[in-house]
Structure 1
């Protein structure tokens, strides 16, 4: 790889040197007294054309190679591998039984990452861990997919475990917050910042985190199930504008309710 990089760099430097030399020759051709106004136009034109033909194009850049279908070793998952892993992991039974954040059929996908290789794996194969959340059973479902064989090798189901939220979950949490009476202050802040009405999450830049009730001395009754339920604290910002204070609000996505802290 280093030798290839040196050869490529050598070609670029050589191309630049040829281009500079060609430019100097062109200037010499058109200097007064050599190829000036006193010479016939056709002679000047033919001289310039000859110089242009002698100099290769300047600044030629090779296009980037297309992404391979299959990665190698610890390379990040390619787009094709991501799609394939998620398609294999979401089995017919899972699509039928689980529910996503909107309550629609099928699980809510949270993340897809390259699996760690076992130290005793003598024939390493590419594997992906696909993590789902099932809002019907409030369970985190992790499926390990072997990308070489195209099979699910392992399925883990856990309750009371809350991975970071996906963008789809943040949007749904923001929609619930905007529609709830406790979201009135959020809408007022948005109106004050933009002179417009806040009607949906598309008007906001969203981030957020899982709400941990263990961090509070007194937990509001509406948040008592958080931990078993999937509860989020939404961080909202006006697009290209100021932040909106949502620190006191928590959205229980499992129960589809909004509660205030304190």
Structure 2
């Protein structure tokens, strides 16, 4: 065990334990559902002095994003005792986007009037209608306003809000340019840039 990567069972247990404290249900995930959005779970480093006389406890650091409060929530879980040992809350911190957040962003683009061009590009490339996110390959990450020359006013809260930019393409096919569409997942809006 020691510093071995977390097993699938440990990953699942850590997430479950991190969601146990009171108030978790009042938090909100990317699609507006109950509970915070899971971002990542990693093996936590041992505390200073641990492991000198015996094995250090296995801990996991579980990160969530709470869309109800626009907060990054980090909980350190002791996998040996099953207890949450530390909880940290930060605002304005934007770790990389989780695939579930990117899928929700694509759903919002396709539901938006600005998604019309994406649907037209898909039809031009395939001859078929674009009806689900499963018809596209997509990836992306957090939209960082400090990297942009001209940030539209509607995106001024990105960084405080969770905003993402996607790249998309037809499965095994042509690219569909969505880089000019920014999704504010906190406000659930789609904005065209530059």
Instruction: Calculate the TM-score normalised by the size of structure 2.
Output: 0.94
SS at match of 1:137: coil
Which stretch has the larger CA shift, 89-98 or 190-199? 89-98
Residue 244 of structure 1: which of 176, 179, 184 is its match?
176
Residue 83 of structure 1: which of 6, 12, 16 is its match?
12
1:142 corresponds in structure 2 to 74
Following the alignment from structure 1 to structure 2, what is the Cα–Cα distance between the partners of residues 199 and 165? 24
Residue 97 of structure 1 and its aligned partner are, at CA, apart by: 1.5
Any idea what the Cα deviations from partners look like across 1:108-160, whole Å, max 9, x if unmatched?
11111111223432351110001001000000000000011110000000000
RCO higher in structure (CA 8 A, sep ≥6): 2
SS at match of 1:233: strand
- Stretches of structure 2 that go unaligned for 5 or more consecutive residues are none
Change (3 A) 1:108 1:94: farther
> Residue 94 of structure 1 contacts residue 107 of structure 1 at CA under 8 Å; is this kept in 2?
no
SS at match of 1:93: coil
Residue 238 of structure 1 and its aligned partner are, at CA, apart by: 1.0
Residue 90 of structure 2: which of 119, 143, 158 is its match?
158
> Residue 89 of structure 1 contacts residue 152 of structure 1 at CA under 8 Å; is this kept in 2?
yes
Following the alignment from structure 2 to structure 1, what is the Cα–Cα distance between the partners of residues 9 and 94? 28
1:228 corresponds in structure 2 to 160
2:37 corresponds in structure 1 to 108
Higher Cα Rg, which structure: 1
> Residue 111 of structure 1 contacts residue 132 of structure 1 at CA under 8 Å; is this kept in 2?
yes
Greater share of helix: 1
Following the alignment from structure 2 to structure 1, what is the Cα–Cα distance between the partners of residues 92 and 151? 17
Instruction: Calculate the TM-score normalised by the size of structure 1.
Output: 0.71
Residue 242 of structure 1 and its aligned partner are, at CA, apart by: 1.6
Residue 167 of structure 1 and its aligned partner are, at CA, apart by: 1.2
The count of residues paired between Structure 1 and Structure 2 equals 191
